């Protein structure tokens, strides 16, 4: 959770703590710390990460559920890591880049809870892995009656069948390869219909022959289509596919509103990669890279747990609180929490929750929450100019030779 994630900074913090409690300080050399860190089992960190997500899920009450059901949001992303031989072998750089000029990149698939914002499952593979392959590794972490929310990359026949077998449901955007036809299907509303999907004639990539043969010949899904009209932009048509067929329990407007929350997963990934700094990893071996990711997710879930406690204690929606602000408060309160006695620590902790949920930002003392900004649109441009250095087009050792010869 610190902005400076170097081993030297970590050892310095430990030494400062030991000085405060009157213990003989260790060496400032980071070697012992790095060796101890490398001995941590990857399975232990994986277990801790999942446990934090599950513990937070158990605190969710009915008022935070969607139509009485838990919704999980899935998406894929990438992370970069140091250019070492081991990392390049396990997670090769993009094939479009020259050797020695790029960085190893891994593809990750993550499932987040829509109610708490916590991450509940993760898988990792090489860069050119399709999102569906990652998703099929993550289905095992879903609970019965969960609803999986995702974009069009996950809308496949076999995956809808797999989710139904798990007693789960899905809300995906319709894949672009499936043409939209208003005439086909049974009309059940102004902008929705029941459609029969047929089993593909050819076995899709990623499925074995046995898995393909086990698929049913048809499934019935509901297709919902609506239009997004924003002034100054071209009107866009959106088609949703869902296995939620009960119109009485799940109305069309509720399903459309639910898909509007799919963007939350992009914000969760931004918190992980930008706010906490997981975009560019530091470790130099694949095993340590995976451990580093699990520790990032562990820290992220602990922050989400703190936001949940603060929000539910002081009647503020937990997802409207600032994760970055929560990190700042926690980092600043940690020394006081460590130094206090057990009775005093409880008082400090309650104060921490209060400042997370309440902070005067103007004369009317509004709460420091993330404002609801519907239909917000910002250009994806950079104002601050980068340094005028050329891109690296040759390996470093070749560039050194050029400098020496010059």
> CB of 303 within 8 A of CB of 318?
no
Nearest to 82 by CA among 103, 111, 66: 103
HSE-CB for 335 with a 13 A CA cutoff: 9
On whether the CB atoms of residues 184 and 108 are closer than 8 A, the answer is no
Give 10-residue mean pLDDT values along the chain (406 residues): 90 89 89 93 96 95 94 97 95 91 95 96 95 95 96 94 96 82 57 88 90 93 86 77 93 93 93 95 96 97 96 91 93 90 92 82 40 66 88 89 87
Residues 6+ apart with CB under 8 A from 82: 103, 104, 281, 282, 283, 284
Minimal CA–CA distance to 133: which of 143, 124, 144, 146? 124
129 close to 311: Cβ distance less than 8 angstroms: no
Q: How far apart are CA 34 and CA 360, in angstroms?
A: 42
Question: What does the block give as tokens for 394?
Answer: 């040759």
Q: Alpha-carbon distance 84 to 103, whole Å?
A: 8
Which pLDDT value is given to residue 287? 96
Residue with tokens 């672009």: 176
10 Å Cβ neighbour count for 259? 19
Contact between 130 and 159 under an 8 Å Cβ cutoff? The reply is no
- State the Cα–Cα distance between residues 297 and 305, nearest whole angstrom: 12
CA dist., res. 403 & res. 15, Å (int): 42
286-313 vs 42-58: helix axis angle to the nearest 10?
A: 20
């Amino acid at each position: 959770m610190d902005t400076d994630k170097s081993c030297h900074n970590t050892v310095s913090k430990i030494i400062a703590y030991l000085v405060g409690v009157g213990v003989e300080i260790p060496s400032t050399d980071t070697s012992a710390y790095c060796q101890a860190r490398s001995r941590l089992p990857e399975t232990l960190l994986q277990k801790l990460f999942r446990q934090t997500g599950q513990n937070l899920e158990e605190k969710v009450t009915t008022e935070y559920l969607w139509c009485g059901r838990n919704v999980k949001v899935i998406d894929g992303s990438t992370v970069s890591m140091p250019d070492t031989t081991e990392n390049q072998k396990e997670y090769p750089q993009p094939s479009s880049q020259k050797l020695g000029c790029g960085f190893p990149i891994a593809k990750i698939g993550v499932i987040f809870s829509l109610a708490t914002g916590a991450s509940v499952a993760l898988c990792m593979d090489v860069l050119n892995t399709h999102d569906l392959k990652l998703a099929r590794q993550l289905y095992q972490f879903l609970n019965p009656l969960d609803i999986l929310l995702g974009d069009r990359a996950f809308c496949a026949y076999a995956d809808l069948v797999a989710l139904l077998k798990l007693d789960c449901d899905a809300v995906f955007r319709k894949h672009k390869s499936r043409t939209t036809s208003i005439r086909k299907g049974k009309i059940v509303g102004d902008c929705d219909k029941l459609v029969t999907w047929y089993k593909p004639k050819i076995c899709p990539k990623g499925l074995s022959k046995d898995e393909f043969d086990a698929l049913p010949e048809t499934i019935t899904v509901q297709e919902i289509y609506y239009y997004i009209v924003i002034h100054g932009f071209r009107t866009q048509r959106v088609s949703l596919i869902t296995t939620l067929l009960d119109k009485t329990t799940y109305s069309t407007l509720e399903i459309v509103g639910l898909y509007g929350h799919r963007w939350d997963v992009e914000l969760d990934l931004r918190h992980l990669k930008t706010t906490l700094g997981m975009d560019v990893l530091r470790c130099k071996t694949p095993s340590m890279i995976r451990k580093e990711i699990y520790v990032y997710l562990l820290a992220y879930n602990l922050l989400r747990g703190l936001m949940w406690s603060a929000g539910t204690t002081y009647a503020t929606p937990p997802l409207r609180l600032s994760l970055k602000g929560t990190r700042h408060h926690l980092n600043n309160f940690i020394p006081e929490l460590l130094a206090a006695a057990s009775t005093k620590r409880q008082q400090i902790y309650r104060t921490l929750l209060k400042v997370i949920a309440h902070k005067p930002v103007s004369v009317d003392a509004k709460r420091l929450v993330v404002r609801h900004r519907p239909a917000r649109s910002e250009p994806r441009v950079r104002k601050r100019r980068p340094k005028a250095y050329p891109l690296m087009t040759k390996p470093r050792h070749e560039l050194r030779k050029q400098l020496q010869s010059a």
